[in-house]
Amino acid sequence: MMMSLGGGGGTGRRTVLITGVTKGLGKALAIELAKGGHSVIGCSRSQDKLDSLRSLLSSSEAAAESPHLLLNVDVRSNGSVEELARVVMDKKGVPDIIVNNAGTINKNNKIWEVPVDEFDAVIDTNVKGIANVLRHFLPPMTQRKRGIIVNTSSGWGRSGAALVAPYCASKWAVEGLTKSVAKELPQGMAVVALNPGVINTDMLASCFGDSSSLYQAPDAWAGKAAAMILNLTGADNGASLTV
């Protein structure tokens, strides 16, 4: 990965859109970026958690002066993401960076025992959710020929594991989608697939149980991840990276 202090085509405060912002890696990343003086646009399906995060992000700022924008959005719904894009363009303009972080995993099960609606939820969130964001945010980003998109992948988007086949399939799809979209972007932009590593989140606990506590916490991960994301440039386009 190419590193530069300005990263992503600019310096100073950056506007970063993060999906799935109210828990796990998304929340930790949002807090880290806000601490660094960046403007966070976040979305989630949980209004209570959005309200809680809003108070965390803006604790040191007057409410009227908060640079952050948190919205109730379901990335699985094209219409919901279309409305997100409309509000973001109106209030914040085109984001400098988008982190497609919203994700879900199936309960540990052999593929023939995974309920149909559970399989659909994984694909609808992890794959189609990213496609919905790209559909509505890439046109204004490509028009100005700058911007960075980070699609959250996984080690299981580059290998296979028993009992989580739907999740593995979705993350392999993220890797393929990223490499294809990279060939559609103008010079100066980048889309990357980012494997966050093995982090102690609710999703990890659903797979690993109690042993998930042996792994790094999201807040410890966020500093390194934020620095890496802020330093991405057009030279990274199409890359599969790992924090």
Active site residues: 167
Question: In angstroms, rounded to a whole number, what is the distance separating the alpha carbons of residues 150 and 192?
Answer: 5
Query: Tokens 């966070």 appear where?
Result: 40
Largest CA distance in the chain: 53
Contacts of 215 (CB under 8 A, 6+ apart): 198, 199, 200, 204, 208
Nearest to 163 by CA among 105, 79, 90, 78: 105
Nearest 10 degrees: Cα torsion 162, 167, 168, 170: 160
Nearest to 43 by CA among 79, 75, 13: 75
Question: In angstroms, rounded to a whole number, what is the distance separating the alpha carbons of residues 220 and 217?
Answer: 5
Three-state secondary structure readout of 74-112 = CCCCHHHHHHHHHHHHHHCCCCCEEEECCCCCCCCCCHH
Q: Which two tokens mark 37?
A: 């003086």
Burial zone of 9 (CB within 10 Å; 0-12 exposed, 13-18 middle, 19+ buried): buried
